[in-house]
Amino acid sequence: MSPLLMEQYDNDAMQMPFAQRPIVILGAGIIGCATARQLLQNGFPVVVVAEYLPGDQDITYASAWAGAAWHAAGGIKPEQRYLQAVTHRVLLKMAQIPESGVSIVKAREYLEQKPAPDSAIWGRTVTAKFREMSRDEFPDNFYCAWSYETLVTDPTRHMPYLGKQVTELGGTFVRQRVQSLQELYDKFPESRIFINASGLGSLTLTDVLDDRCFPERGQTVFLRTDKCNTMYFRNGQEYTYVIPRPLSHGVVLGGVKQQDNLSPEVDLDIARDEITRAHRLAPDVVPEQPADEDVSHIIGIRPSRRGGFRLDSEKHGDRNVISAYGFGGGGYAFSYGIADAVGKMVENVERENVIV
């Protein structure tokens, strides 16, 4: 391009109305894709840049491997509970569309101890059919138990579904690994909003280098069974769950959290231990020794962050960077609430730019 034309191009780019400047999202996991869908529905143009895209299966692409159950998190702030509540509302609607991979299931949650004031019990305000179970309905080694209806998302269906939705709404995916956010600023000079939904990527992006981020390995067992309509969740010191995946005719048995472990190899001792614990929790669903042909293994690296996830908007000159990463073991339960919150942050930036 001649210098004269280049100058003309720069001038045109500078004069581009705010709402026509593509919003650039780094990361195509559940957080990046849910956010892209929300922004596209709100009428913004969106480009999603990521190394791994919906349908891919790298172990560091956490969204391909999640359980993924909606479970009310304990010990979180009221505004974070609201993010989960919004997610629940959106997933409940999606559960009417089988292609989305979202299903409504029963849940039985057994508590090792008396619930603390900030425990997961707040979930009763969001879930249907919540009730305290009577003593004869749960094993006597637990203090109390709740039953309710919850939502499970089958990521093998949901991520491709969401990817398709983003494309159909007019969004664009660009497969590219970047070393920094600056690389995106250079690639999209006309853009004013950049959303960092890179999960674990934020540990190594050279202009983010968030040292609170760390990989947390998960390994679960997928057990093929038609008894797949109830979630069992052990609430306490022991971390055991049975998450149904009705559309895939099975249940996911977990779990483990292994900090700073990136091994892609199946650890059979972990798998055996998970089966044993799941059998103790749900003997009617999980046999003590399931047949080998009914068992397969799932390995994924959670994008965890000390102190919890990051969700904020910062001004960098005439650009705005919104950070939404570090969701560890809860990215699905927060996903559509995060997308909604980011959508509001984007509208706040829009307001600052159009009311001058």
Ligand X SMILES: Cc1cc2nc3c(=O)[nH]c(=O)nc-3n(C[C@H](O)[C@H](O)[C@H](O)COP(=O)(O)OP(=O)(O)OC[C@H]3O[C@@H](n4cnc5c(N)ncnc54)[C@H](O)[C@@H]3O)c2cc1C
Binding site listing for FAD: 178
How far does the chain reach from its first CA to its final CA, in angstroms? 33
Q: How far is the CB of 212 from ligand X (least distance, A)?
A: 14
Q: Name the residue with tokens 């999980």.
A: 286
- The yes or no reply on residue 221 touching ligand X (CB under 6 A) is no
119 versus 353: smaller Cβ distance to ligand X: 119
Name which position in 220, 230, 240, 313 contacts ligand X (CB under 6 A).
220
Rounded-to-integer distance, Cα 250 and Cα 231, Å: 11
Measured in whole angstroms, the distance separating CA 75 from the mean position of its chain's CA atoms is 18
| 296/353 with CB nearer ligand X | 296
Binding-site size for ligand X (CB under 6 A) equals: 40
Among 333, 339, 341, 346, binds ligand X (CB under 6 A): 333
**296-325 binders of ligand X (CB under 6 A):** 298, 300, 302-303, 325
> Site for ligand X (CB under 6 A): which residue of 163, 201, 250, 337?
201
Tell me: does residue 215 bind ligand X (CB under 6 A): no
* Chosen residue from 65, 130, 173, 233 binding ligand X by CB under 6 A: 65
Q: Check residue 214 for interaction with ligand X (CB under 6 A).
A: no
51 is an interface residue for ligand X by CB under 6 A: yes
Nearest to 52 by CA among 29, 85, 74: 29
Interface residues with ligand X (CB under 6 A) are 26-32, 50-52, 61-63, 65-69, 177-178, 197-199, 201, 205, 218, 220, 243, 298, 300, 302-303, 325, 327-333
